[in-house]
Amino acid sequence: MALTLGGCGPRSTETIAPPVQATVVVLVAASAQDAVADLAKDFETETGVEVRIVADDSAKLAQQIANGAPADLFLSASPKWARFLDAKGHVARQTPLLGNQLVLAVPMGNSAGISEPADLLTPRVKHLGLAGPNVPAGIYARQALGKLGLLEKLEQEKKIVSGENVRVTLAYAERAEVEAAIVYSTDASFSSKIKVAFVFPESLHEPIVYPLALVKPATGSETVAAAARLYDYFQQPHAAEVFRRFGFVWLGSGSNAGK
């Protein structure tokens, strides 16, 4: 609400506008949205700064930032998309923050009897849910299936059903629309509708690393200080505790790592 200044002389029409409340926009990989939402609430309580979260697959979010979408921080499920933005001059600072694991999830009940990746080639399995080929979870899954010698056969048999992001892929398994899905362990651990049948060894795919990037601000942005503060906040011990509670591997050091 604006305040009107009064005095002994003629009434003044000068007003003092209220301070602008900063809103920090965080674009986050779908698999990390719940943990980030928890941290955002804590940050808002401590600082009074509003945090707006946009969650989707990392590739789509990176393209949106490159095309000028509002963003102050970007938490990607793959270093590829942080590098993509850095190459285009959008990254002020970045640091590796989180790690994850890839698992084979099956609907509770598992009527197809799946216990390992080789079972995906049996006639009992009609559909396998994977995140899209440009989504980090989908890329890691295809790398693992390729090294196991299963990917080409699964594609030939048209068993693969691609989800828009890893949460959509998980939902396929939760609704039993697929006999199995390859998702992150963090997603699987919080669902009561699926169970983990197999954990993929890390040697089967590239390291799963979530870099946190501080996006270069637009000219005259009022969120510069607030965004930098949240960037630091995500690297502190309290953030490590929250991310670990959601099943992530903590890679942060608590320091402000540069590019």
Question: How far is Cα 105 from Cα 131, in angstroms, rounded to an integer?
Answer: 13
Identify the burial level of 152 via C-beta atoms within 10 angstroms of its C-beta, where 0-12 means exposed, 13-18 middle and 19 or more buried.
exposed
To which CATH superfamily is domain 22-98+209-250 assigned?
Periplasmic binding protein-like II (3.40.190.10)
- CA distance linking residue 138 with residue 183, whole number of Å: 8
Question: Would you state the structure tokens that stand for residue 152, as one six-digit string?
Answer: 């080409």
Q: How many CA atoms lie within 13 A of 5 on its CB side?
A: 7
Other Cβ atoms within 10 Å of 259 Cβ, number: 13
In the prediction, which pLDDT does 109 show? 84
Q: In the numeric block, which tokens belong to residue 5?
A: 């200044």
Rounded Cα distance, 110 and 127, in Å: 13
What pLDDT, on a 0 to 100 scale, did the predictor assign at position 230?
96
Task: Tell me what pLDDT residue 219 has.
Answer: 58
Q: According to the model, what pLDDT value does residue 22 have? A: 77
Pairing assessment for the beta strands 180-184 and 128-131 based on DSSP bridges: parallel
Count Cβ neighbours within 10 Å for each residue of 6-39 and write b for 16 or more, e otherwise: eeeeeeeeeeeeeeeebebbbbbbbbbbbbbeeb
The pLDDT score that the predictor gives to residue 16 is 44
> Which of 13, 39, 12, 45 lies closest to 26, judged by CA?
39
CATH number listed for the domain at residues 102-204: 3.40.190.10
pTM for this structure?
0.85
Q: Which amino acid is at 236?
A: Q
Contact 72, 24 (CB under 8 A): yes
Continuous H helices in 27-117? 33-47, 58-66, 79-87
CA dihedral of residues 246, 34, 192, 164 (deg, nearest 10) = -120
CA distance 77 to 141: 13
Do the Cβ atoms of 242 and 39 come closer than 8 Å?
yes
Cα–Cα distance measured from residue 113 to residue 74, given in angstroms and rounded to the nearest whole number: 39
Query: What is the residue-level pLDDT of the chain in tens, covering all 259 positions?
Result: 333 333 434 444 444 433 446 799 999 999 999 999 999 999 999 999 999 999 999 999 999 999 999 999 999 999 999 999 999 999 999 999 999 999 999 999 888 899 999 999 999 999 999 999 999 999 999 999 999 999 999 999 999 999 999 999 999 999 999 999 999 999 999 899 999 999 999 999 999 999 999 999 875 577 899 999 999 999 999 999 999 999 999 998 743 433 4
Indicate where the chain has its CATH 3.40.190.10 domain(s).
22-98+209-250, 102-204
Task: Using alpha carbons only, give the angle 131, 242, 256 rounded to the nearest 5 degrees.
Answer: 90
